[in-house]
Amino acid sequence: MSEIISNRSELLFLYDIENANPNGDPLNENRPRFDTESSSILVSDVRLKRTIRDYWYEYKGFNGQGENQDIFVRETTYAEGDKEYIKDGKRRAKDFQEQAAMILNKCIDIRVFGGVIPLSNDSITKIGPVQFQMGKSINKTEIIEEQGTGAFSSGDKKNQATFRTEYKIPYAVIGFNGVINEKSAQYSTMNEDDKALLIEGIWEGTKNLISRSKFGQAPLFLLTIDYNEPFYIGNLRQRLKLDCGEKNEMQIRSTNDFRLDVTELVEVLKANKEKIAALSLKTDSRLTMINKGQIITNISKNEL
């Protein structure tokens, strides 16, 4: 394995979603999570972490087979008689002989995100180096209710199909703030290879989340800031704006309807330039960025 993380990093991730449900609330009819005061969409950090885990499992082969890495927090089953059941946390820990060192060695998600490892007589808590603030849309939007019919009836000898209700948003640009804490990495053993896989998982996992409710979302912007001291700026998402021209932000439906204004973000990066060791930015070709009204194509430390 590569070296354990020794520098603090900060992440800023944006993706857009069109005519879909970014994060349904199961306690509220699976409606998109919504801040009524700001008319903004909310997405939990758990949803983003699940996206990354699913990518590692499905596309990187981290399924515990052979010498491959594994994902600890995933659905696994066991058989008892002629029935199959979903494992609880304690049974999952037994897959690794209840040895925390083995779990950290094999399971990238615990090294990166941390977690509670339940044991027979106790539990071990690992604080994850990678933490995300709850995601929030930069633009105002609304929830649209759609009615439809199912393919089956509600019961036997019925002559009418069931009705269904779906909740979607027309369009949103959703942003996440994140931090990689080098102090916690010393205990969870998150290494530089894990960090590279995290960055890959954020972008590619979002792109490859092709489910019925998520199809229509795509990554737009991923900024990674590496610091040369235990410091981070914070609130990076809150320093972005959408320049919608003559349109109201409720009317935007694609990247053609706005430009991402990074003026305030660039200013705060300049103010802390001496604390920044490196900057890395990945953007989608659909996105147009502006700084003080001028179109830019990149944000780099040399240009700060």
Q: What is the DSSP letter of 3?
A: P
The C-alpha atoms of residue 118 and residue 125 are separated, in whole angstroms, by 9
Give residue 220's pLDDT. 98
Per-residue DSSP letter, 109: H
Residue 271 has a pLDDT of 97
Cβ atoms of residues 68 and 61 within 8 Å: yes
Q: List, for residues 92-109, the tens digit of each pLDDT value.
A: 999 999 999 999 999 999
- DSSP of 121-163, one letter per residue? S-EEEEE-SEEEPPEEESS----EEEEEEEEEESSTT--SEEE
Residue whose token pair is 């969409």:
41
Task: Assess whether pLDDT exceeds 60 at residue 153.
Answer: no
Confidence of residue 121 (pLDDT cuts 50, 70, 90): confident
Q: Kindly state the average pLDDT of the residues 230-257.
A: 96
- Range with the lowest mean pLDDT among 10-14, 35-39, 79-83? 79-83
- 289's enclosing H/E stretch is strand 289-291
Average pLDDT, the chain: 92
Q: 103 φ, ψ to 5°?
A: -65, -45
27, burial (CB in 10 Å: exposed 0-12, middle 13-18, buried 19+): exposed
- Burial per residue of 45-55, b for 16 or more beta-carbon CB atoms within 10 angstroms, e otherwise: bebbbbbbbbb
- pLDDT at site 160: 58
Say if CB 139 and CB 17 are below 8 A apart.
no
The residue to which tokens 């000898």 are assigned: 157
Instruction: State the pLDDT at residue 165.
Output: 84
The proportion of the chain whose per-residue pLDDT surpasses 90, expressed as a percent, equals 84
Mean pLDDT of 27-55: 96
140, HSE (Cβ side, Cα atoms, 13 Å)? 10
Q: What is the mean pLDDT of residues 19-27?
A: 93
**Is 246:281 a contact under the CB 8 Å cutoff?**
no
| Alpha-carbon distances, residue 290 vs 94, 132, 219, 266, 303 (angstroms) | 53, 26, 18, 10, 14
What pLDDT score does 37 carry? 96
pLDDT value of residue 234: 98
- DSSP-assigned letter for residue 73: S
Measured CA to CA, the distance from residue 183 to residue 7 in angstroms comes to 9
pLDDT-above-70 percentage for the chain: 93
| pLDDT higher than 60, residue 159 | no
Listing DSSP states for 145-214 in one string gives EEEEEEEEESSTT--SEEEEEEEEEEEEEEEEEEEE-HHHHHHHT-BHHHHHHHHHHHHHHHHT---TTT
The residue type of 190 is M
Confidence of residue 150 (pLDDT cuts 50, 70, 90): low
CA distances to 72, 92, 182, 247 from 100, in Å: 11, 12, 20, 54
Q: What is the pLDDT of residues 163-216, one digit of tens each?
A: 668 899 999 999 999 999 999 999 999 999 999 999 999 999 999 987 766 777
| Token code pair at residue 23 | 């994060």
